[in-house]
Amino acid sequence: MLALVGSGEYLPPMKEVDRYLLDLLPDQPRLVCLATAAGQEGEQRLSYWNNLGVSYFSELGAEATALPVIDRISASNDDFIEKIRQANFVYLSGGNPVYLFNTLQGTPAWQAILDVHQNGGVVAGCSAGAMVMGDLIPALPRWKTAFNLLPGMVVIPHFDEISPALVWVVRLLIRRDKTLLGIEGNTAFIVLRDVCEVRGKGSVTLWNRLGKRRFQHGQIIERPEALPRTARL
C-alpha cells in the first residue's frame, strides 16, 4: 500500500484519511516518521516535524516513533534500520525532494522502507515524500530521477496552489509517455493491490496523452482505464 499526499501531513484535516490507512493494517500500527526531506533545515525544524508526527499518530492509536535519518550516514545506522523493518507504516514528510532522494538512494534505510511496502505495510509520503515515489522529480536545470514506485508518473503535490499557467508549462515539459499526477492539499492518492483510490478534501488529477481526468474523495481508479498504458503500479 502506497499513499501519496499533496500537503497537510500530521494536521487535523488529514485525520480521516490517516485513520483509513491505519485501518488497512491487519496488526497494531507500528509507525515510523522520517523527516529526512527536511534534513538540511536545522534541528528546530526537524524537532518540529518529529514531535508533530509522533503526537499526531499517537492520538490516532498508533505506536509511533521518529527516527533522525537525515543524511547518508544515519541512513545506514543499524539501529534505525532495524526499527524501520519492525514498522508496518512509514511516513516521509515534506521538505526538499531532491535531497530526500539523494539521501536515501541505495541505502539500507531505503531498502528497509521497501521491505515494509513489500510485506504489506503502508508507505506514505507527503509533498517531497510523494514526489520521490514517481518516475521523475521536476527540478532545474534538469529533472531528477526518482524512486519510480509509480513508473511513468510525475507527482506534483500542492496541485491546488499552482497557477493554471504553470501547470500547463509542467505538462508541456513532461514527455508524452508520462502521466502528470497532481494531488491537491489534504488529499491522498492511495495505491492498493488492484486499484487506486482518492481520499481527502480535495481532488487528484491524472493528465497524459489519453486525456485529463479529475477524481474526488471516495472514487476508485481502475487500472489501466485511467492510467497510461505504460504504468505498472
Mean pLDDT for 68-84 is: 97
What residue ranges do the domains of the chain occupy?
Answer: 2-222
Range from 82-96, 103-117, 135-149 carrying the lowest mean pLDDT: 135-149
Residue 119 has pLDDT above 70, yes or no: yes
Range from 34-43, 92-101, 157-166 carrying the lowest mean pLDDT: 157-166
Write the secondary structure of the chain as one string of H (helix), E (strand) and C (coil): CEEEECCCCCCHHHHHHHHHHHHCCCCCCEEEEECHHHCCCCHHHHHHHHHHHHHHHHHCCCEEEEECCCCCCHHHCHHHHHHHHHCCEEEECCCCHHHHHHHHCCCHHHHHHHHHHHCCCEEEEECHHHHCCCCEECCCCCCEECCCCCCCEEEECCHHHCCHHHHHHHHHHCCCCCEEEEECCCEEEEECCCEEEEEECCEEEEEECCEEEEEECCCEEECCCCCCCCCCC
Highest mean pLDDT among 27-41, 170-184, 205-219: 27-41
Range from 2-11, 101-110, 154-163 carrying the lowest mean pLDDT: 154-163
pLDDT at site 23: 95
pLDDT at site 220: 87
Fold of the 2-222 domain: Rossmann fold (3.40.50)
Residue 159 has pLDDT above 50, yes or no: yes
pLDDT class of 233 with cuts at 50, 70, 90: very low
Mean pLDDT for 158-185 is: 81
pLDDT at site 227: 57
pLDDT at site 147: 96
pLDDT class of 131 with cuts at 50, 70, 90: very high
Higher pLDDT, 194 or 206: 206
Determine what percent of the chain is predicted with pLDDT higher than 90. 74
Average pLDDT, the chain: 90
